[in-house]
Chains A and B, each alone.
Chain A
């Protein structure tokens, strides 16, 4: 599929697994334009005026929900947040009925986060508004994958041939899966490492290299993407203690030194400083963690725009 055939208008954004490289490129190129809006004094543009976006979040979230909310608002759309603790879900309403209710109000895009894998795909089969997957269980988180790729591309020029090390809890990570799909499509080389107990069996079938020791994955890496470790994984016995995790699998200064000197340090947040990532490197020169957040906003603006209004060209938004 060539770039001129690409159009995301009217399509759902469920995951990077089924996306064409040219579609990914269109989003990343558009995001570059969007990023200029964020730095403006007056941010609001009228591009999506009259469009309604609902953030339907069945899991807690700060950065992703806020990012989608601001992305919609900067583009002039109306954005409503629905979170489970304040919704009819606590009254036992099924996902289908919640979706039909939201649909009946005439929204254009539903941004959904859900603990169950495939929930957004299920939703897309039920309602007419376009769906954006803002994370479904451990399956995919496509806008995170896109913002990570945007950040890498911005810093390194191209994704082609980059060695990207993804470190930590791969098993429970939708971020890892979206990164793997996206990066493989864009020609990067993906290395995974973490405790064996947190590495999915047969993950190598996705075309990635799997390492038992994180040092092997870090060796010569252009990008080090550190995943969040949830404390409850320790309670489930998947590793013995936070202390031991930090010692054997935590990314710290000496381990980061195994990567290329100009390697980027990334983290999708929220961080557990002192567990999966050492505090001194989290804000070091190599860290692009804050920039990731900004890029996330740009990527989400691009996605919303392309899905609702976009053609196959990157347009300058005024």
Chain B
């Protein structure tokens, strides 16, 4: 089976390609990239006016399976991924039970084979049950295919556990992903601490809680020589700390989410629980610093932190709502709207941070369009304007901070291993 994607603007940040051309796929591989490829026995996909990019990789997704299927499962979550142009998603360990041993990693991969439509990579827990007490069986999980380790949702409060985890993970040159918010400072805070929280009377999660947490993690990474990745960076201080650490040679990478790049805490004035997330949406000053950090490469990758919840869980008073919302289906639209169409960043740089960058961080053989590579491809219509309607999301979640928002730019086809898994919004 051959497929020819014809006449699209091919953007492949891994080798700085940005050209109008064709990509020929045979079975699951790319076999030719060039101009005016002629192939008589190929099914042709006309891509005039479209952007052909390496399949997006989301290194921070919550698929909620096993145990939390009312929020999401692998079938629905990977369909949401396909709809958003993602060909690989790395899923976090905070399920029920927590993914903290090899058999659960294996089970996850097996379930992904049966019900998933895009590739899944498992992130194992750092501590057993995410309890922050004892190390989980990291070596075993690596052998079963875990790509990184994280207690996401929780900061590793004990510096001693963090040290042990880093030293242990570094035996395998593995990666620790940190959700960096000092828990004693955020307590039960529900939004960014600042002028808006002062106005609304809601308990704040101060930016300094993230700064302090990131600072400690960076110092420990420097001390142990381990690799660390800071998840969902949201503060000016954290960006600056990471920038300085990179200058010193600390082995740190970082991600930002579309929502932290798009919204400010002003959105919370509606008390709409769709805007509740950890770390919280920050003030304009932090958003500006984060965008700058993304542009200058301090922030390596963009990740969605797709965190679906059941409708009834979010349909409550703001204080009682769980944090997070789905992000896979709105990511590229939001990013193109706020970063590309505004002239802030090039499309190539945005695509890089969603493909080759996360692939390198997770050491995946993916994220690039090259002859001989797996044909994981995302096709974008950069100028398609659309209105976000959570009622037609593929995720099970029905809340989105982007609800009713007008976005410009959308994934219109997703190819995994040479097969279309999404075309024109329909997951196949």
Contacts and interface: CB of A to CB of B under 8 A. Distances in A.
Interface in A116-135: 116-119, 121-122
Contacts of B320: 116
A205 B271 contact: no
A139 B201 contact: yes
A202 B198 contact: yes
A202 B284 CA distance: 14
B319 interface: yes
A119 B317 CA distance: 5
B319 A137 contact: yes
Nearest to B201: A138
B78 to A, nearest CB: 30
B197 interface: yes
A74 to B, nearest CB: 31
B201 A201 contact: no
Contacts of A205: 195, 198-199
B72 interface: no
Interface in A201-238: 201-203, 205-206
A162 interface: no
A127 to B, nearest CB: 14
Contact of A137 (B193, B202, B312, B316): B202
B317 A118 contact: yes
A282 B49 CA distance: 76
Interface in A77-115: 94-96, 114-115
Given A95-B317, A201-B193, A201-B204, A117 B271 contact: yes
Interface string B312-338: 100111111000000000000000000
Contacts of A118: 200, 202, 271, 317-318
Contact of B201 (A96, A114, A121, A137): A137
Contacts of B271: 117-118, 121-122
Contacts of A17: 199
B194 interface: yes
A139 B271 CA distance: 11
B319 A116 contact: yes
A203 B198 contact: yes
A200 B317 contact: no
Interface string B295-315: 000000000000000001001
Contacts of B201: 117, 137-140, 172-174, 177, 200
Contact of A116 (B195, B199, B318): B318
Interface in B148-193: 193
A206 B199 contact: yes
A205 B318 CA distance: 23
Contacts of A172: 201
A117 B194 contact: no
Given A118-B271, A200-B197, A202-B194, A139 B202 contact: yes
Interface in B258-283: 271
Given A118-B271, A118-B318, A174-B201, 8 more contacts: A94-B316, A116-B320, A118-B317, A137-B319, A139-B202, A201-B197, A201-B206, A202-B197
11 contacts: A17-B199, A116-B320, A139-B200, A140-B201, A172-B201, A177-B201, A200-B198, A201-B206, A202-B197, A203-B198, A205-B195
Interface of A: 17, 94-96, 114-119, 121-122, 137-140, 172-174, 177, 200-203, 205-206
